[in-house]
């Protein structure tokens, strides 16, 4: 007799997709995502488990940078497959720890309870090659319209680079505001890339242009100067 097995396939969201919607219980109350955050950038990130050392260093770092992200109109939302009570106990313990110059750290952003892995599966955070019971270290940057703009995935063993996560927010906001692109290792104040010429005439004009705030290395690669 053949056994019928129902397999639920979930398409992992991609850059440019609308962020999958969900309602969840968190350490800061119930949230409706992403509608509660319309008008703000959001960093939605997952971690494998509470009371683990790498995750603890990450939460201390995120909490210490929360005001910096707030200044960039960016909200933080964390997730793991642990219970709400485990979250609360762990966040209280974090306040008692001191690491890398950080102490008395209070995590004020919401941490989602996802015991049934509903949200984790919607966002492709459970990856069997790593673990069937823990979420990998995923980062989704979502813009004020609820569109996914950046996706980062880290293995369980590797802590995230938080300077890079902040740099991504700055770069996306710069690109949106000025209709430009940012080159490798771009930081605020560095020169930016203007859109590639769409015709021979524009390419020729750019190469011959004497505009003081622009320069071209070749017809396809032109920069705009930024004030430091």
Fold of the domain built from segment(s) 22-175: Glutaredoxin (3.40.30)
What 8-state DSSP symbol labels residue 213?
Answer: T
- Ranking 177-181, 200-204, 223-227 by mean pLDDT, the lowest is 200-204
CA–CA distances in Å: residue 159 to residues 13, 79, 162: 23, 15, 9
Please give the pLDDT value at position 228. Answer: 62
> Which residue among 55, 200, 216, 222 is the active-site one?
55
> By the 8 A CB rule, do 186 and 74 touch?
no
- The domain locations on the chain are 22-175, 179-228
Active site residue 55: yes
Please give the pLDDT value at position 198. Answer: 63
Please give the pLDDT value at position 196. Answer: 80
Query: What mean pLDDT comes out for the span 29-55?
Result: 96
Structure token pair of residue 15: 């850059």
pLDDT beyond 90 at 170: yes
* Among 101, 135, 100, 123, CA closest to 42: 123
187 annotated as ligand-binding: no
Q: What's the CA gap between 121 and 51, in Å, rounded?
A: 22
CATH of 179-228 among 3.40.309.10, 2.40.100.20, 3.30.1020.10, 3.40.120.10? 3.30.1020.10
Query: Could you tell me how far CA 103 lies from the centroid of its own chain?
Result: 24
Please give the pLDDT value at position 126. Answer: 76
Please give the pLDDT value at position 3. Answer: 46
Same fold, 22-175 and 179-228: no
Span 58-117, pLDDT tens digits: 999 999 999 999 999 999 999 988 999 999 999 999 999 999 999 999 999 999 999 999
């Amino acid at each position: 007799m053949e056994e019928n097995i129902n397999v639920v396939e979930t398409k992992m969201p991609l850059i440019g997709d609308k962020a999958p919607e969900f309602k969840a219980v968190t350490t800061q109350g119930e949230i409706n995502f992403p509608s509660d955050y319309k008008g703000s950038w959001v960093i939605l990130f997952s971690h494998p488990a509470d009371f683990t050392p790498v995750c603890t260093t990450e939460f201390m770092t995120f909490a210490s940078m929360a005001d910096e992200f707030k200044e960039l109109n960016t909200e933080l939302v964390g997730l793991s497959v642990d219970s709400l009570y485990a979250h609360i106990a762990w966040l209280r313990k974090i306040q008692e720890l001191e690491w890398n110059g950080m102490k008395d750290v209070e995590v004020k952003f919401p941490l989602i309870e996802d015991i049934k892995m509903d949200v984790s599966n919607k966002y492709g955070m459970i990856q069997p090659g790593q673990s069937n019971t823990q979420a990998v270290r995923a980062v989704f940057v979502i813009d004020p319209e609820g569109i996914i703009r950046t996706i980062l995935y880290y293995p369980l063993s590797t802590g995230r680079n938080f300077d890079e996560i902040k740099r991504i927010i700055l770069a996306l906001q710069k690109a949106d505001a000025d209709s430009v692109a940012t080159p490798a290792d771009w930081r605020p104040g560095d020169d930016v890339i203007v859109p590639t010429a769409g015709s021979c005439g524009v390419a020729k004009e750019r190469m011959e242009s004497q505009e003081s705030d622009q320069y071209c290395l070749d017809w396809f690669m032109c920069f705009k100067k930024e004030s430091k």
